Amino acid sequence: MQVEIFPDRLLNIETAQALLNELNRIGGITRMVVYGPRLPKEDPENLLAGKHDIREPRYLEILGEKVELTVQVGRIFVEMEDPGIVEKIKEACRKALPFPFEINEGIYIRTRKTLTDYVRKGGKVDDISVGMFDPKAQPKSSCCSPRSDKHADD
């Protein structure tokens, strides 16, 4: 079963972290995706101080691991084994979110392999990774670097 947590506002990093901390205490969640518009790169405090173009990556801490946050969290997709924990998810949202929210049931993360998984990954995608990578991500540039050109000239 999958649900979508849909808060009334776009979350700032602290609130998103607080909500994820609460969700991480719940057992039985198999996958989660944070979704939203791209996170503005500059810190508002820097902008008010007249410091522009200072781009510091922002991180979420998930179970002790630092994960770079690139989106402003607007929705969280949660996949769970047991539908009974929806109430626990609601409780976690009530604790962490200072404004109303909605919980919607549906399919938000793919559950089966599609043609893309075979084309891009040769079908080697496990159940956890299905739908968790960007199928449109460009592979790294295959061009030679200028340094390698120099090497060839030598």
Binding site for other proteins (CB under 8 A): 7-12, 15, 37-38, 40, 42, 44, 47-48, 50, 52-53, 72, 74, 98-99
Q: What is the DSSP letter of 51?
A: -
**Assign residue 148 a region: left if phi > 0, alpha if psi is -120 to 50, beta otherwise?**
alpha
Least distance to other proteins from the beta carbon of 137, Å?
20
DSSP string, 52-115: -S-B--EEEEETTEEEEE-B---EEEEEES-GGGHHHHHHHHHHH-SS-EEEEES--S--S--H
Least distance to other proteins from the beta carbon of 13, Å?
10
Residue 31 or 72 with smaller CB distance to other proteins? 72
Residue 1 or 69 with smaller CB distance to other proteins? 69
Residue 11 or 23 with smaller CB distance to other proteins? 11
Least distance to other proteins from the beta carbon of 35, Å?
12
